[in-house]
Structure 1
Amino acid sequence: MKKCLVYANCQGDALAHWLNKNSLFSSEYVIDKISNYEHIFDQKKIPKNLFRRADLCIYQPIGNSHGIYATSNLLRLLKPSCKTISFPYIYNDGLWPIYKNGDKIVNQEPIVELIQQGCSLLEIMTKFISRNINFKLKERFENSLNELRKREQETDLKGAQYILDNYQHKKLFLTCNHPATNLIIHYMNQVLKQLNLPMMQNSEQFHPNDAGLPGCYPSSPYGRKELNIFYKEESDWKVLYEKKKRKNWRYIHLAHIFEVYSQQAKKEIGNFPKWLRSLSKYW
């Protein structure tokens, strides 16, 4: 069996998952994985033997500023016969009005601006439910896509045009940096093509998070309004989080707004679920 090494972040885990599911690929290759971000963050020692024995190396470029973890250094370890395939870091933050990434609430600026204008929490939430807050989704989407195009200038695999052609009617992202099944299969097919293996023709039959990546931001009508997204905003959340069916897009987004308001107001304004129930009569 040939050795395939994937040196990437969690997007590489998803790509490896789908390559392993391909019977022709998995009959020819055994995959080893090295998490680039875990090794960089924890300052782990790179298992160089995995590079030396690889017959195929699939990687995301890591800059020279990261020293021993830079791909320019590690690729020198590969044997001359090893085939290399590079793919970009995949990111887009323009599909959700506001979301939480780790401990940080992203794109809270429109909410902060309303607070500074003197709007109450109820007024802000009413504006949100009425879809009257400009979260600049189109601008953020285009900026993310342009950044991806720049990254693709130095990678073998491409995804920007596929995203542009399909984002309105296919779920392509679970979170800002976790691609859904449709997008991962697009990248996998490019790998298969480079290896002269048959590509997968239909990705719609699979679960949107078949690879089991953590997290999913619920879509909202803002995407339909500003980006002309046609898939139902509720369906993705309910498919991915069976236990959270009662928490729809309104609940999740309003919880983020509540948290931003609490931080900006610098005062205790109570428990969110209880507070929201008391105001349900307004919507």
Structure 2
Amino acid sequence: MEYRKPMPPTLHPSCRPLCIIHANCQGDPLAGLLAAHPVFGGAFEVRRYTNYEREPIAEEDMGRCRLFIYQHLGEKWDDHASDRLLARVPGEAVRLCIPNMLFKGYWPFWTNRSTMDFGDSFLDHLVDMGLSEAEALHVCLKGDLAAKYDLAALLEASLDVERGKEGNTVVQTVPLVLEHWRTERMFATINHPGCRLLLHVADGVLAALGMTPVPAEVRAAFTMPYDDFELPIHPQVAAFHGLAFGDAGTRYNIYGRPMTYEDYARRYIACRHGGVGNFIGYLQLV
């Protein structure tokens, strides 16, 4: 992959070349970090397009684009697939693929095939068995997860997927996750990375452009962008992996309300039993 240094800044911000970030919610903090960099911010105007919302990129913006930062999307995304978008990017523009960060190590039962927000295949299974709310919660908390599920294998399978996704990215995150994930909570939810990872990706983009890392004062002021919801970790998963956090007494921020894993699981099971279709709304009300 060939990288070109950015064009020099101009006096008029509206005349600066455009950096387009085509990414999910991880693109927002990245855009802020890059814009706060004195060299990058002087060289580029930054504009983010939300990939999973299929937000169309204006032709005028494509014409001004001199740096295209993207998370890879396959052909099933049609006109928003990365290969099709890259064909529209001007030839002189730099193209940088960044990681689409996701980590199931804390949440081995996460699934996108549930009827619930933040789907949990283990909790769904207990409800689908026909257990009452009390019975399902009891099995969830007191059953031996490690005896029923190969938690180590589930972790490795998830990591293999993430390594494959990062084969062509300008910066890799899996090694950093593995270095710190037991002593520091690296994700708030499966796809909401913490400050360390977001800064790491920003530094990787800057390094690819021949720029210095995010300045110390920007790093010091950078706070967790996803602070309204922390997906609780099953205490047995925390114990199995030797995490320094996540025991039964750990309280998580659930839309402004502190809850333990038990509090959260009880609500998940009750929501499933009640046939409520909006779990996020349910969590905010009960």
Question: So what's the TM-score if we normalise by structure 2?
Answer: 0.74
Higher mean C-alpha displacement, 179-188 vs 88-97: 88-97
User: Is residue 264 of structure 2 the alignment partner of residue 249 of structure 1?
Assistant: no
**Secondary structure class of the residue paired with 1:62:** coil
**Which residue number corresponds to residue 281 of structure 1?**
none
In the TM superposition, residue 114 of structure 1 has moved relative to its aligned partner by 8.3
**Which residue number corresponds to residue 163 of structure 1?**
177
**Which residue number corresponds to residue 267 of structure 1?**
none
**Secondary structure class of the residue paired with 1:55:** strand
Deviations 1:119-142 (A, max 9, x none): 654344234334633465433332
**Secondary structure class of the residue paired with 1:187:** helix
In the TM superposition, residue 25 of structure 1 has moved relative to its aligned partner by 2.4
- Contact 1:157 1:187 (C-alpha < 8 Å) held by counterparts: yes
- Contact 1:4 1:55 (C-alpha < 8 Å) held by counterparts: yes
Distance 2:78 2:111 in 1: 31
Query: Alignment RMSD, CA only?
Result: 3.5
Distance 2:155 2:215 in 1: 27
Distance 1:213 1:26 in 2: 26
In the TM superposition, residue 74 of structure 1 has moved relative to its aligned partner by 1.9
**Which residue number corresponds to residue 112 of structure 1?**
125
- Contact 2:106 2:238 (C-alpha < 8 Å) held by counterparts: no
**Which residue number corresponds to residue 40 of structure 2?**
25
> 5+ unaligned residues in a row in structure 1: which ranges?
264-270, 277-283
Question: So what's the TM-score if we normalise by structure 1?
Answer: 0.75
Give the aligned residue type for 2:50. S
**Which residue number corresponds to residue 185 of structure 1?**
199
Higher mean C-alpha displacement, 127-136 vs 156-165: 127-136
- Contact 1:98 1:105 (C-alpha < 8 Å) held by counterparts: no
Query: How many residues are matched?
Result: 257
> 5+ unaligned residues in a row in structure 2: which ranges?
1-15, 276-281
**Which residue number corresponds to residue 159 of structure 2?**
145
Give the aligned residue type for 1:54. C
When residues 168 and 79 of structure 1 are mapped into structure 2, their CA distance, relative to the original with a 3 A threshold, is: same
Distance 1:193 1:235 in 2: 38
In the TM superposition, residue 82 of structure 1 has moved relative to its aligned partner by 1.3
Give the aligned residue type for 2:183. H
**Which residue number corresponds to residue 218 of structure 1?**
232
